[in-house]
Amino acid sequence: MATGNQSNLCSICNKPSAKYLCIGCKKYFCAKDFKEHEQQLSTKFDNEIIQSHDELLDQIRKLEKSNSLALDLFDEIEQWKNMTINKVEKAAEKAQHELIELIDKQRITIIKQFESITSEIRHRREEENFVENDIDELKQKINEIKQNLEQFTQIETTMTIIVNNDQIDWNRLIYIQEQQLDCEYIALKI
């Protein structure tokens, strides 16, 4: 926020003593109303950014503690493995490892996005360096991470297990494949 031309009227009280220009909303303010405007921005930042950030942090912490994301797939792999020969057991172990790596990869991506926005929020809060546009931009980034997290936590509903026992190719018997549509999801092929 910068000092402006004294001939401008305060956008709140309409007094001609407006000396301060908010570079975010492009409005002029007198000293009293300028301080109030800054306080409103600070409150808006806390209510819209910090609160959304904290809610997202809670969801990510729950995700980090949860191992249930792929349990149904592991159960199906295990049942299939029990009905097959030794070569099939080895293929199942390989598929489980690939599934864990893929889930970890997606979880790490979400966590890195979250850590980046956390750093930016802390910096802006410490420096008190933000205007309306910054709040809107940070809120949009938080919403994008929320959407990615929601898509990731819905992963079980988009997974498919396909069983085909005809003419088995022992090198491709079971594998994990990441497919791209509107959102990323995991397909387990048996």
Enter the pTM of the model.
0.43
- Is 153 inside any structural domain? yes
Residue keyed to tokens 């306080």: 39
Range of the domain at 136: 33-159
Beta strand pairing call for 175-180 and 161-162: unpaired
pLDDT (0 to 100) of residue 47: 92
State residue 12's pLDDT score: 92
> Is the separation of the CB atoms in 146 and 185 below 8 Å?
no
CA dist., res. 85 & res. 93, Å (int): 13
pLDDT at residue 4 in the model = 45
| Between residues 71 and 125, the one the model is more confident about | 125
pLDDT of residue 152: 77
pLDDT confidence bin for 5, thresholds 50/70/90: very low
Give the type of residue at 181. L
pLDDT given at position 90: 73
DSSP-assigned letters across all residues of the chain: -EE--TTSPPTTT--TT--EE-TTT--EE-HHHHHHHHHHHHHHIIIIIIHHHHHHHHHHHHHHH--GGGHHHHHHHHHHHHTS-HHHHHHHHHHHHHHHHHHHHHHHHHHHHHHHHHHHHHHHHHHT---HHHHHHHHHHHHHHHHHHHHHHTGGGG--EE---SS--TTSSSEEEEEESSSEEEEEE-
Q: Is residue 115 part of a domain?
A: yes
pLDDT score at 106: 84
pLDDT band for position 76 (cuts 50, 70, 90)? confident
Q: How many separate domains does the chain show?
A: 1
User: 17-58 pLDDT, tens per residue?
Assistant: 889 999 999 999 999 999 999 999 999 999 999 999 999 998
Q: What is the pLDDT of residue 176?
A: 61
Domain annotation covers residue 66: yes
Q: Residue 84 domain-assigned? A: yes
**Residue 26, Cβ density class (10 Å: 0-12 exposed, 13-18 middle, ≥19 buried):** exposed
What average pLDDT does this structure show over 130-155?
A: 86
Asked if residue 2 is part of any domain, the answer here is no
Is 73 a domain residue? yes
pLDDT-based confidence at 11, cuts 50/70/90?
very high
79-132: per-residue pLDDT in tens? 767 777 656 667 777 877 887 887 888 889 889 999 999 999 898 888 887 888
At 185, give phi and psi (nearest 5°).
-150, 170
For residue 151, is it within any domain?
yes
Residue 48 domain-assigned?
yes
pLDDT for res 6: 47
The torsion angle over the Cα atoms of residues 134, 139, 145 and 147, rounded to 10 degrees, is -140
Extract the tokens encoding 133. Answer: 């546009």
Which carries the bigger pLDDT value, residue 189 or residue 60?
60
